[in-house]
């Protein structure tokens, strides 16, 4: 049985083992097959009649990782959280609205059980006594994701984190 590499755009797309290329494959597909040895793998490069391993992927720079973690933290910060099993917003604008409502309660101008629009689009009554806990939940979410960012930045500095996937895992 012969071993063939199917070449797409100069890269090995797959390895096929078969007795006869001409009998099994359409002529266009057969034309993309090149006989190869046991070492060739998908992802290898085929240039000038020779196979070679894929070029090594360089690690992102420290600055690229720092920018990535900041972006990842911002996305996590904006994603929202739960309060009493209800989804709440945690984006920048909503954080300001929580402060505004807390001020209205302190000034005595917020009506008790005023409806609040939750992240699922539904309005639910929230009492003046409950509202601080809702605002604290949003704040805790934001504080937590900033804390994750701080830990990840320290791990980037120490060399423990070198890839974006590791940053994603920290925020998972």
pLDDT given for residue 18 in this prediction: 83
User: Quick one: pLDDT at residue 54?
Assistant: 84
Confidence (pLDDT) at 56: 73
Largest Cα span, the chain: 85
Ordered by start, the domain boundaries in the chain are: 2-52, 62-171
Tens place of pLDDT per residue across the chain (172 aa): 889 898 988 998 889 888 777 666 777 777 888 889 889 998 899 998 999 988 777 789 999 999 999 999 999 999 999 999 999 999 999 999 999 999 999 999 999 999 999 999 999 999 999 999 999 999 999 999 999 999 999 999 999 999 999 999 999 8
* pLDDT computed for residue 19 by the predictor: 79
Nearest Cα to 10, choosing from 59, 53, 44? 44
What local confidence, expressed as pLDDT, does residue 131 receive?
A: 98
**In a 3-state reduction of DSSP, which class is residue 123?**
strand
- List, in sequence order, every residue forming a beta bridge with 6; answer none if it has no partner: 14, 33
Query: How many angstroms separate the Cα of 41 from the Cα of each of 17, 45, 154, 162?
Result: 12, 9, 37, 26
Q: What is the DSSP string of 33-84?
A: EEE--TT--TT-EEETTEEEPPPPPPPPPHHHHHHHHHHHHHHHHHT-EEET
CA distance 85 to 66: 33
pTM of full prediction above 0.75? no
């Amino acid at each position: 049985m012969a071993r063939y590499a199917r070449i797409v755009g100069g890269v090995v797309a797959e390895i096929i083992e078969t007795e006869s290329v001409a009998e099994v494959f359409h002529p266009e597909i057969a034309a993309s097959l090149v006989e190869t040895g046991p070492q060739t793998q998908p992802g290898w490069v085929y240039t000038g009649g020779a196979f070679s391993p894929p070029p090594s992927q360089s690690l992102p720079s420290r600055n690229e990782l720092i920018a990535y973690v900041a972006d990842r933290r911002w996305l996590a910060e904006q994603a929202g959280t739960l309060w009493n099993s209800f989804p709440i917003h945690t984006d920048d604008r909503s954080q300001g609205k929580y402060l505004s409502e807390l001020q209205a309660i302190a000034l005595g101008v917020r009506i008790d059980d005023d409806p609040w629009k939750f992240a699922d689009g539904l309005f639910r009554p929230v009492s003046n006594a409950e509202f601080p806990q809702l605002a604290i939940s949003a704040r805790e979410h934001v504080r937590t994701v900033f804390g994750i960012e701080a830990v990840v930045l320290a791990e980037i500095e120490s060399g423990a984190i070198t890839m974006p996937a590791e940053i994603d895992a920290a925020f998972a």
